[in-house]
């Protein structure tokens, strides 16, 4: 079995979720690496969209920002943020990848503050950027994050990005488009989705070397269990070769 690190398995797992012909809104870092890997392996017709306006580029190497000139390389269109967000609101974007400082059992994300006092928080973060728009209108939201009790909390201190809100049909009742919402959470320990009725986070797969207990011990709320929890397939030699030599040869992401 090939050797790989935490970031490499997360990127490979995320890339496998992106089928050929799908559209995905990404930022820089691990989500971009996952989209590039998918495009170079099983999804040559994947349409990658960047918040700053690049639509379906053939990325020559890892961009350092969503407005990097490489995000427009051989692209179908060099548009604008308004065009990208408009495409999301019209239902043209299948997937997006997001992250945050906190995530709760319903997939709500916080990238704004830590603490209860918005005027004087313990920590202040950059805020939403385009995350709220992406999560509100893209069909399936995926999150890539390390798993620990500080990130996985019973209730986020601030809802920067809506998930399933308070569970059940609360997202639909809020007026957000039906059929959109959190899809999968990909961590260094396993993969979670959301139970169909309660919309609570549940474990569907554990990574090699981990167990359900590891995921639960590193989570601040009770995780549900899928009827059958499988073991995540580790990265293949082909995936690792392309990831290391073509996607991120300078190890900007996988070297973390």
Q: Check pLDDT > 90 for residue 133.
A: yes
The model's pLDDT over 61-100, given as tens digits with 9 standing for 90+, comes to: 899 888 899 999 999 999 999 999 999 999 999 999 999 9
The model's pLDDT over 23-70, given as tens digits with 9 standing for 90+, comes to: 999 988 999 999 999 999 999 999 999 999 999 999 988 998 888 999
Q: Is 51 in the active site?
A: yes
Residues ≥6 apart with Cβ < 8 Å to 55: 47, 49, 75, 76, 77, 78, 79, 83, 84
Burial of 54 (0-12, 13-18, 19+ CB in 10 A): buried
Burial of 97 (0-12, 13-18, 19+ CB in 10 A): buried
Every domain of the chain and the residues it spans: 6-247
Burial per residue of 116-148, b for 16 or more beta-carbon CB atoms within 10 angstroms, e otherwise: eeeeeeeeebeebbbbbbbbbbbbbbbbbbebe
pLDDT score at 79: 95
Q: Which of 51, 116, 238, 246 is catalytic?
A: 51
pLDDT score at 1: 55
CB atoms within 10 A of CB 244: 15
CA atoms within 13 A of residue 223's CA, in its CB half-sphere:
28
Query: What is the rounded distance in angstroms from the CA atom of residue 234 to the CA atom of residue 72?
Result: 32
Residue 126 is encoded by which pair of tokens? 């950059």
Reported pTM: 0.95
CB atoms within 10 A of CB 114: 17
Q: Which CATH number fits domain 6-247: 3.40.1080.10, 3.90.550.10, 3.30.1550.10, 1.10.630.10?
A: 3.40.1080.10
pLDDT score at 35: 96
């Amino acid at each position: 079995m090939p050797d790989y690190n935490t970031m490499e398995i997360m990127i490979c797992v995320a890339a496998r979720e992106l089928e050929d012909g799908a559209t995905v809104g990404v930022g820089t870092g691990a989500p971009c690496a996952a989209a590039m890997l998918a495009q170079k392996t099983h999804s040559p017709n994947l349409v990658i969209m960047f918040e700053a306006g690049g639509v379906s580029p053939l990325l020559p190497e890892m961009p350092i920002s969503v407005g990097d000139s490489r995000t427009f390389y051989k692209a179908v269109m060099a548009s604008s943020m308004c065009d990208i967000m408009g495409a999301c609101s019209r239902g043209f974007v299948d997937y997006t990848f997001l992250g945050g400082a906190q995530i709760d059992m319903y997939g709500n994300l916080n990238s704004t503050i830590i603490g209860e006092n918005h005027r004087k928080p313990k920590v202040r973060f950059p805020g939403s950027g385009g995350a709220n728009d992406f999560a509100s209108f893209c069909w399936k939201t995926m999150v890539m994050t390390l798993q620990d009790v500080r990130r996985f909390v019973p209730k986020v201190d601030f809802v920067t990005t809506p998930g399933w809100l308070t569970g059940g049909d609360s997202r639909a009742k809020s007026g957000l488009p039906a059929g959109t919402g959190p899809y999968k959470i990909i961590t260094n320990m396993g993969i979670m989705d959301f139970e169909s009725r309660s919309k609570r986070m549940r474990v569907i797969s554990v990574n090699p070397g981990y167990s359900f207990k590891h995921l639960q011990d590193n989570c601040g709320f009770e995780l549900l269990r899928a009827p059958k929890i499988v073991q995540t397939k580790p990265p293949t030699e082909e995936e690792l070769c392309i990831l290391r030599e073509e996607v991120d040869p300078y190890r900007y992401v996988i070297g973390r």
